[in-house]
């Protein structure tokens, strides 16, 4: 186990849009925030290209302002120690006009965004770094870009020959993980949609998500985080994202079943390369012995 000199161990998530922190890995973030881990989030954009009904924009000057407010609400529920925006614009789904906006995340030089993230890595000194898998979960261009930028940032932050704008010392996280979507569950959803006459290749509000193609990509599972103890907290955070349908994800007849069978988040390990084939139950395994879970925060 590592003897940490800082007050708390640190977890840093690098994501693309408001709601990624909750819908994707909210259980993990809430769980570690309640195990004495300083849990931080970098969000690349403010979700400008998201679909938002007019009713949710009352009192807000823009979609970005609404979605940032939702993120800060969710961050409070999850117990995040810090939220940091990179300041780029949401690029939208593949083929949308938002892709071409000059401030769109995917229009930026990868090295520039990686340098921003690397500076945060040096400043926050995370022990564990987490981000999207290589296909960004569901092939969103921003998710894929942030995956690539984070991998490069991990290299840069540890490079003694690279100098950031703040002249910070090099830092290398002890572990790096990519979150993955359970493929078995996805394949079940594909069969279920077909059973009900839905096209799983045209999923989502705008029918622009191909669940079949996503379910055919297999990633190894090196860590599983069971977040049932904080499932209700993750649900509270989801409700913060009302403009993105967060409230509809937490209620209904199937909510108890979802908590029992789907309250797990999966990760593949990028660094160091896993060798023994075992599946970890704690992202901080081998780094530090965390205190027992505490419900209050």
Whether 288 maps to a domain, the answer reads: no
Does residue 92 form part of some domain? Answer: yes
232-258 residue pLDDT tens: 999 999 999 999 988 765 554 445 545
| Residue 194 placed within a domain | no
Helix (H) or strand (E) holding 215: helix 211-215
Note the pLDDT tens digit of each residue in 165-207: 999 999 999 999 999 988 787 888 888 889 888 898 888 767 7
- Report if residue 209 sits inside a domain: no
Q: How far apart are CA 114 and CA 135, in angstroms?
A: 18
Question: Which tens digits make up the pLDDT trace of 76-98?
Answer: 999 999 999 999 999 999 889 99
Domain of residue 146 covers 10-183+220-271
CATH, residue 55 = 3.40.50.10320
Using the predicted structure, report yes or no on whether residue 3 has a pLDDT greater than 80. Answer: no
Distance CA 180, CA 265 (A): 8
**Mutual orientation of helices 141-158 and 110-124 as an angle, nearest 10°?**
60
| 211 inside domain | no
Tell me the C-alpha distance between 147 and 132, whole Å.
Answer: 5
In a domain, 98, yes or no: yes
Inter-residue contact 22 to 72 (CB < 8 Å): no
Question: Is 25 inside a domain boundary?
Answer: yes
Look at the chain and report how many structural domains it folds into.
Answer: 1
Which residues are 180's β-sheet partners?
266
Distance, CA of 83 to CA of 4 (rounded, Å):
23
> Which structure tokens are listed for 109?
């030089």
Would you state the pLDDT for residue 249? 57
pLDDT in tens, 106-143: 999 999 999 999 999 999 999 999 999 999 999 999 99
Contact assessment for residue 130 and residue 154, using Cβ atoms and an 8 Å cutoff: no
Shortest CA distance to 131 belongs to which of 243, 38, 28?
28
**Distance separating alpha carbons of residues 171 and 159, to the nearest angstrom:** 8
Task: Say what the pLDDT of residue 269 is.
Answer: 98
User: Per residue in 244-280, is it b (16+ CB within 10 Å) or e — as a string?
Assistant: bebeebbeeeeeeeebeeebebbbbbbeeebeeeeeb
Q: How far apart are CA 135 and CA 132, in angstroms?
A: 8
| Maximal CA-CA distance, the chain | 58
Q: What was the pLDDT predicted at 233?
A: 95
- Token pair recorded at residue 265: 């988040």
Q: Is residue 212 part of a domain?
A: no
């Amino acid at each position: 186990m590592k003897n940490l000199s800082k007050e708390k161990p640190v977890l840093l998530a690098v994501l693309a849009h408001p709601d990624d922190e909750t819908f994707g890995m909210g259980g993990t973030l809430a769980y570690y925030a309640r195990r004495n881990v300083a849990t931080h989030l970098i969000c690349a954009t403010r979700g400008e290209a998201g679909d938002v009904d007019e009713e949710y924009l009352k009192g807000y000057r823009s979609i970005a302002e609404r979605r940032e407010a939702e993120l800060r609400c969710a961050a409070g529920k999850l117990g995040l120690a810090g939220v940091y925006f990179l300041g780029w614009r949401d690029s939208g789904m593949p083929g949308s006009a938002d892709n071409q906006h000059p401030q769109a995340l995917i229009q930026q030089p990868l090295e520039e965004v990686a340098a921003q993230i690397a500076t945060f890595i040096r400043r926050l000194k995370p022990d564990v770094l987490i981000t999207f898998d290589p296909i960004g979960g569901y092939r969103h261009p921003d998710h894929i870009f942030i995956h690539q930028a984070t991998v490069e940032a991990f290299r840069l932050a540890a490079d003694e020959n690279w100098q950031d704008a703040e002249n910070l010392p090099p830092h290398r996280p002890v572990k790096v993980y990519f979150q993955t979507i359970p493929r078995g569950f996805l394949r079940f959803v594909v069969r279920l949609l077909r059973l009900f006459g839905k096209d799983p290749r045209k999923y989502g509000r705008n029918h622009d998500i191909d669940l079949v193609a996503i379910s055919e990509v297999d990633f190894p599972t090196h860590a599983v985080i069971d977040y049932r103890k904080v499932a209700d907290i993750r649900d509270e955070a989801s409700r913060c994202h009302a403009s993105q349908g967060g409230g509809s994800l937490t209620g209904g007849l199937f909510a108890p079943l979802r908590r029992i069978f789907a309250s797990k988040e999966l990760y593949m390990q990028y660094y160091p390369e896993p060798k023994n084939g075992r599946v970890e139950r704690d992202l901080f395994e081998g780094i530090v012995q965390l205190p027992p879970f505490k419900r209050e925060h």
